[in-house]
Chains A and B, each alone.
Chain A
Amino acid sequence: MLTGGLILGALGFVSALVLSIASKVFYVYVDPRVELVEDSLAGANCGGCGFPGCNAAANAVVAGKAPVGVCVVGGPESAEAVGEIMGLPVEYHEVEFAERGCRGGRFFDPLLFDYIGVQDCRAAFMIAEGPSNCEYACLGFGTCARNCPFDAITMSERNLPQIDYSRCTGCGTCERLCPKHVIRLVSESKKILYWNQLDACAAPCQATCPTQIEIPRYLGFIAEGKYEEALLVIKQHNPMPLSIGRVCPAPCEDVCRRKDVDEAVNINDCKRFVADIEYQNNEYLPVFVHPDTGHKVAVIGGGPAGLTCAYYLRRLGHSPTIFESLPKLGGAMQYGIPEYRLPKKALDWEIQGMLSIGIEARVNTVFGRDITYESLLDEGFEAFFIATGTPRGLWTRTEGEDLDGVMLGIDFLRDIGLGKPPAVGPRVVVIGGGNVAIDVALSAIRLPGVEEVHMACLEKRDEMPAWEHEVHDALAEGIALHNSWGPMRMLGENGKVVCVEFKQCTAVFDENGRFNPQYDESQTMRIETDSVLVTIGQGTDIGFIKESAELSKLELTPRGTIVVNGETMQTNIPHIFASGEITTGPNIAIQAIAGGRKAAWAIHQYLNRKEGEPGIIEPPTNLRVAALDLVDREELQKVPKVKREVMSRLPVQDRRRNWNEVNQGLDEEQAIRAARRCLNCGIYCLRPTYESKTRDFLKKTV
């Protein structure tokens, strides 16, 4: 027994001796920093950094072949720790998360063939790129979910990958594995810089919206009661949902596929609903803002285009400053759209929220007088964005327009917006048949002392440029509408207008569809009046361009608008960009917002251009320009019909003499019902809430 113990001890001793000698003989120098660095990495061996395992990444960092932020999973903390070990500064690296592009998946999409091979997307893809009919659809075999090193992906019951953002680290394993590129890594900046690509699962609404809001996505969130998520989706494309949700004519609803079933979804009303929740909570949702880049951009004009451009530039880390000539920001939305359509309290609240992420605004600052192009260059602004809109009303050029009591409708609206409504009435004539003319008429009738409001326009009732529902409202509120009458002259007494004489207009447009009114001067009409508000159109005010030696090199159209590239909003001077009505002429607000966002994209590219390049920005490639109409109409007929939600509105008798908001918005139940009506269309597919071929397939397989 004793011998055994002794011999065992002796053997142990010999082994230890041999090992200790061996450790000297076979000593290999390992940089102690490798181990320290490896400890600071995530240790998941996910390969997100591009190195085979964390140890290899640590070796690369120590060898100086990889940056300190090599570990995408460890994020900023890891980068800081590694930076400390290596004594190197940490460069900012924006976090990216996986995001799924496909909304439909294999069960919504009529399949080309039944696939019964290996249940893996990569295998299925090898046969004619998978059984899916849609070239951009998720194959749904869950390769990403099985291979996610962090278990952040699960396959939903609709067989689409669902990403758990509390677990996703942005390692990119799923992106590398997905053969159809359905899952991609996306950072907040990339979302802001995104314009629909050819492979975007863009429903007709999303492809039609000028600013390309992901409509089915936010409606889906609303249907689930996730209002904050819905709002953040909207704000990636439109920073002003509270205001746009009230004034947008919703081109998206015109192309809604649901119209082939019953009626369009209340897309814009749903947007307003989620924005109203943020407003009622009186707390701005935090949004991602990139750390400062130090680039200064001058934004001339504080309307929707200027605000949007400044907002997205700020979120991309740049430092925009807005210069506005009037006392408040908002442009035409502040001084053009009347209070009863867009309460100024809501607008101001929304603008305040946009400024609160770090945008400087200088109001009461006239470009060309208080500041000039040269003075801004001296202040260090690297790029300019001009969005001064169409602030100048057009006159009819008829006799007597210089009389007292005749004014431009747009000036009338602006004065009301400035809080000093002009004295008009008791009888008022509005000349013009557009939407602004209706705003003028309905604003006039709300003023104290105004008894009757007439509206006269060249067009017939069905030709009027104003939208039908606006005309309908005007008639309901007691505006006297006179169609097919053109002003002949205005008569005055003691220099003050007392009467307008009209002549009959027989045709507004000639055979070529051009504006070329014909009159029958034998038919005339007189309207006795105290005030005339001329609202026949608006133009740009480019005095400030002509006065500056440098800016006068800008290319202009004969209409007085600035010529820009339609995708980049860049003018012929590379560091000057422009959008909004100064480039398009009178247009809708969402178009200005889209222009502002496009300009933010291009200015971002311009500011990040290579050293020494002139910076002429190429438009993004592979853009999806139009909505595809490829859906199976027969399928649509099977969708059960559900009525469109109707928003409650202020009764007509309650609208007189006050500025209370007319449209009351949807309540929560209505909004959810409205959002559930969305068919969740993709390019080809629809949500199968009804029996269909694809449904049969689902039953057969599972």
Chain B
Amino acid sequence: MHEAWTFSDYLLLVIGAILVNNILLTRFLGNCPFLGVSRKMETATGMAMAVVFVMTMAGSITWIIQEYVLIPFDLEYMQTIFFILVIAALVQLVEMFLQKSFPALYQALGIFLPLITTNCAVLGVAVINIREGYNFLQTVVFSFASAVGYGFALILFTGIREQMEVSSIPDFMKGTAIGLLTAGLISLSFFGFAGIVE
């Protein structure tokens, strides 16, 4: 267990999650929607919001499951399957809850909410929380910050792709090809943050 964390520790955790260890650009998790929904700013922001929502929820719930179900029953080796089950059920529940209670938010998130059930970044963050041995508060903060990092990278990338739509690009590079190249370059630039946080 860690010693008691100060505010600056939490700040470093947030910066680390958003910039240094960006879930998308340095851990390479969740690349499918990164390329899939980055053509339009409108869909990208929708996706980013949905990820923030689901990732924070999923990170917290899985931590509780780990702490109060898996460890007491010595079932750590079944972590993955448990987490998948819980995340899937959680997303369904959240969707129903939103539709009833916050129809506007439900409309805004739209199709992206059920889509990210299968996003590996969500599962990845849940697993990292456990592996790093975070307590509940740290888990919540880290999950939220990771999701913000994800949304940040996605929106950044979408902006560049929208710009590319109207630039003259050689025919053979059009579409996914230049998209992957750009993603690689952004990723490289994010590696420049390495070392800021331990």
- A contact residues vs B (CB 8 Å cutoff): 3-4, 7-8, 11-12, 15-16, 18-19, 22-23, 25-28, 118-120, 123, 141, 146
- The residue from B73, B86, B100, B163 contacting A15, defined by CB atoms under 8 A apart: B86
Stretch at the interface among B3-11, B50-58, B90-98: B90-98
Q: How far is the CA of A25 from the CA of B96 in the complex (A)?
A: 9
Q: How far is the CA of A22 from the CA of B163 in the complex (A)?
A: 44
Query: Shortest Cβ distance from A60 into chain B, in angstroms?
Result: 15
Whether the pair B73, A11 counts as a contact (CB closer than 8 A) is no
Whether the pair B73, A18 counts as a contact (CB closer than 8 A) is no
Whether the pair A4, B73 counts as a contact (CB closer than 8 A) is yes
| Chain B residues whose CB sits within 8 angstroms of the CB of A141 once the complex forms | 166
| Chain B residues whose CB sits within 8 angstroms of the CB of A12 once the complex forms | 85
Closest to B100 in A: A26
The interface residues of chain A, by DSSP majority, are classed as helix
Most chain-A Cβ atoms within 10 A of its Cβ — which of B82, B93, B166? B166
Whether the pair A22, B85 counts as a contact (CB closer than 8 A) is no
| Chain A residues whose CB sits within 8 angstroms of the CB of B167 once the complex forms | 118-119
Query: Shortest Cβ distance from A141 into chain B, in angstroms?
Result: 8
Closest to A116 in B: B168
Query: Shortest Cβ distance from A28 into chain B, in angstroms?
Result: 5
Given contacts A15-B86, A118-B166, A119-B168, 9 further A-B contacts (CB under 8 A): A4-B75, A8-B78, A8-B85, A12-B85, A16-B89, A23-B96, A26-B97, A28-B99, A28-B100
**Known contacts A4-B78, A7-B69: A120-B96 contact under CB 8 Å:** no
* CB under 8 Å from chain A, chain B span 92-115: 92-93, 96-97, 99-101, 103
Whether the pair A19, B89 counts as a contact (CB closer than 8 A) is yes
- The residue from B65, B81, B89, B101 contacting A18, defined by CB atoms under 8 A apart: B89
Closest to A117 in B: B166
Interface size class of B (residues with CB under 8 A): 20 to 34
**Could you pull out 29 A-B pairs where Cβ atoms are within 8 angstroms?**
A3-B74, A4-B73, A4-B77, A4-B78, A7-B73, A8-B81, A8-B82, A11-B65, A11-B86, A15-B86, A18-B89, A19-B92, A19-B96, A22-B93, A22-B96, A22-B97, A23-B96, A25-B100, A26-B97, A26-B101, A27-B100, A28-B99, A118-B167, A119-B166, A119-B168, A120-B166, A123-B166, A141-B166, A146-B165
Which 3 residue pairs spanning A and B have beta carbons closest together? A15-B89, A26-B100, A120-B166
Closest to B106 in A: A28
Q: How far is the CA of A628 from the CA of B97 in the complex (A)?
A: 67
Query: Shortest Cβ distance from B189 into chain A, in angstroms?
Result: 23
Whether the pair B69, A19 counts as a contact (CB closer than 8 A) is no
Whether the pair A26, B89 counts as a contact (CB closer than 8 A) is no
| Chain B residues whose CB sits within 8 angstroms of the CB of A3 once the complex forms | 73-75
* CB under 8 Å from chain A, chain B span 43-84: 65, 69, 73-75, 77-78, 81-82
| Chain A residues whose CB sits within 8 angstroms of the CB of B75 once the complex forms | 3-4, 7
Q: How far is the CA of A7 from the CA of B100 in the complex (A)?
A: 31
Q: How far is the CA of A119 from the CA of B168 in the complex (A)?
A: 6
Closest to B92 in A: A19
| Chain B residues whose CB sits within 8 angstroms of the CB of A118 once the complex forms | 163, 166-167
Q: How far is the CA of A8 from the CA of B83 in the complex (A)?
A: 10
Query: Shortest Cβ distance from B107 into chain A, in angstroms?
Result: 10
Q: How far is the CA of A25 from the CA of B166 in the complex (A)?
A: 48
| Chain B residues whose CB sits within 8 angstroms of the CB of A16 once the complex forms | 89
Query: Shortest Cβ distance from B171 into chain A, in angstroms?
Result: 12
Query: Shortest Cβ distance from B166 into chain A, in angstroms?
Result: 4
**Known contacts A119-B167, A123-B166: A19-B93 contact under CB 8 Å:** yes
Q: How far is the CA of A146 from the CA of B89 in the complex (A)?
A: 40
Q: How far is the CA of A119 from the CA of B169 in the complex (A)?
A: 10
Whether the pair B69, A26 counts as a contact (CB closer than 8 A) is no
Q: How far is the CA of A592 from the CA of B70 in the complex (A)?
A: 92
Q: How far is the CA of A341 from the CA of B165 in the complex (A)?
A: 59
Q: How far is the CA of A90 from the CA of B31 in the complex (A)?
A: 46
Q: How far is the CA of A120 from the CA of B169 in the complex (A)?
A: 13
Whether the pair A15, B85 counts as a contact (CB closer than 8 A) is yes
Most chain-B Cβ atoms within 10 A of its Cβ — which of A11, A23, A120, A141? A11
B 4-46 to A, binary, CB cutoff 8 A, 1 in contact else 0 = 0000000000000000000000000000000000000000000
Whether the pair B96, A26 counts as a contact (CB closer than 8 A) is yes
B 146-177 to A, binary, CB cutoff 8 A, 1 in contact else 0 = 00000000000000000101111000000000
Whether the pair B69, A11 counts as a contact (CB closer than 8 A) is yes
| Chain B residues whose CB sits within 8 angstroms of the CB of A15 once the complex forms | 85-86, 89
| Chain A residues whose CB sits within 8 angstroms of the CB of B69 once the complex forms | 7, 11
Closest to A14 in B: B89
| Chain B residues whose CB sits within 8 angstroms of the CB of A28 once the complex forms | 99-100, 103
Q: How far is the CA of A18 from the CA of B73 in the complex (A)?
A: 22
Q: How far is the CA of A11 from the CA of B100 in the complex (A)?
A: 25
Closest to B74 in A: A3
Q: How far is the CA of A358 from the CA of B96 in the complex (A)?
A: 59
Q: How far is the CA of A16 from the CA of B166 in the complex (A)?
A: 48
| Chain A residues whose CB sits within 8 angstroms of the CB of B86 once the complex forms | 11, 15
Q: How far is the CA of A123 from the CA of B78 in the complex (A)?
A: 55
Q: How far is the CA of A29 from the CA of B163 in the complex (A)?
A: 42
Whether the pair A11, B82 counts as a contact (CB closer than 8 A) is yes
Closest to A55 in B: B110
Whether the pair B100, A18 counts as a contact (CB closer than 8 A) is no
| Chain A residues whose CB sits within 8 angstroms of the CB of B101 once the complex forms | 26
| Chain A residues whose CB sits within 8 angstroms of the CB of B73 once the complex forms | 3-4, 7
| Chain A residues whose CB sits within 8 angstroms of the CB of B77 once the complex forms | 4
Query: Shortest Cβ distance from B9 into chain A, in angstroms?
Result: 33
B 105-136 to A, binary, CB cutoff 8 A, 1 in contact else 0 = 00000000000000000000000000000000
| Chain A residues whose CB sits within 8 angstroms of the CB of B99 once the complex forms | 26, 28
Most chain-B Cβ atoms within 10 A of its Cβ — which of A22, A25, A27, A123? A22
Q: How far is the CA of A571 from the CA of B81 in the complex (A)?
A: 85
Closest to B96 in A: A26
Query: Shortest Cβ distance from B96 into chain A, in angstroms?
Result: 4
Query: Shortest Cβ distance from A59 into chain B, in angstroms?
Result: 11
Query: Shortest Cβ distance from B76 into chain A, in angstroms?
Result: 10
| Chain B residues whose CB sits within 8 angstroms of the CB of A11 once the complex forms | 65, 69, 82, 85-86
Q: How far is the CA of A27 from the CA of B78 in the complex (A)?
A: 33
**Known contacts A11-B69, A11-B86, A146-B165: A18-B93 contact under CB 8 Å:** yes
| Chain B residues whose CB sits within 8 angstroms of the CB of A146 once the complex forms | 165
Q: How far is the CA of A15 from the CA of B93 in the complex (A)?
A: 9
Query: Shortest Cβ distance from B116 into chain A, in angstroms?
Result: 18
Closest to B167 in A: A119
Closest to B78 in A: A4
Q: How far is the CA of A15 from the CA of B73 in the complex (A)?
A: 19
Closest to B75 in A: A4
Closest to A53 in B: B110
